[in-house]
Chains A and B, each alone.
Chain A
């Protein structure tokens, strides 16, 4: 059974860079049927899609974060990563990685990691 697990620091200083990694186990990351996504949820708020990566490295980002975010994939280690630059207090959130179906599933996020809380503070 495929599982996702986020890892990374729980605290990042404002103006610095946040880096998170999602490890995939129980299945392949190199599949043409799925994207691999990052989604975040500020405390007490709703979900925000950050972006998605295909196993070939093709990426799609939310324009609200464009210019600050990079998502990359490492198929040999079955991981994908999120880098968010110039972090501000508003980036404080729980960050989830998720598998995203392509096409007939309406690009649904069908498997999620447990989430990792990140606090951005000076």
Chain B
């Protein structure tokens, strides 16, 4: 199985800050990396697919990058509604695996 490691596990930032979350795959997954946001008590929501493609309706302050084994999710101009946990997921091979999540709190 491909192991996905996210860092940090949690962070606290202020409204308007730029936040970067890192995801590392245990083997080369090319650009087959997706990002999700899960607000408290809600189902996950797809933000970015194939490393950098923004899902319809997702604000442009979200962006993704990377390739191979190292990937990033960046939120610029952090908003209160960005509170939640963010997960990466590899789409390279079965079984599909997720990172353990990064919890984003607003100061």
Contact = CB atoms under 8 A, between A and B. Distances in A.
B23 to A, nearest CB: 12
B43 A101 contact: no
B44 A112 contact: yes
A112 B49 contact: no
Interface residues of A, number: 23
Contacts of A96: 43-44
B50 A106 contact: yes
Interface size class of B (residues with CB under 8 A): 20 to 34
Nearest to A49: B96
B97 A49 contact: yes
- 9 closest A-B pairs (Cβ-Cβ)? A106-B91, A107-B91, A108-B49, A108-B34, A112-B43, A49-B96, A62-B95, A106-B32, A47-B98
Interface of A: 45-49, 60-64, 96, 101, 104-110, 112-115
25 contacts: A45-B100, A46-B98, A46-B99, A47-B36, A47-B98, A48-B98, A49-B95, A62-B95, A63-B95, A96-B43, A105-B34, A105-B49, A105-B50, A106-B34, A106-B50, A107-B32, A107-B34, A108-B34, A108-B49, A109-B34, A109-B46, A112-B44, A113-B43, A114-B43, A115-B43
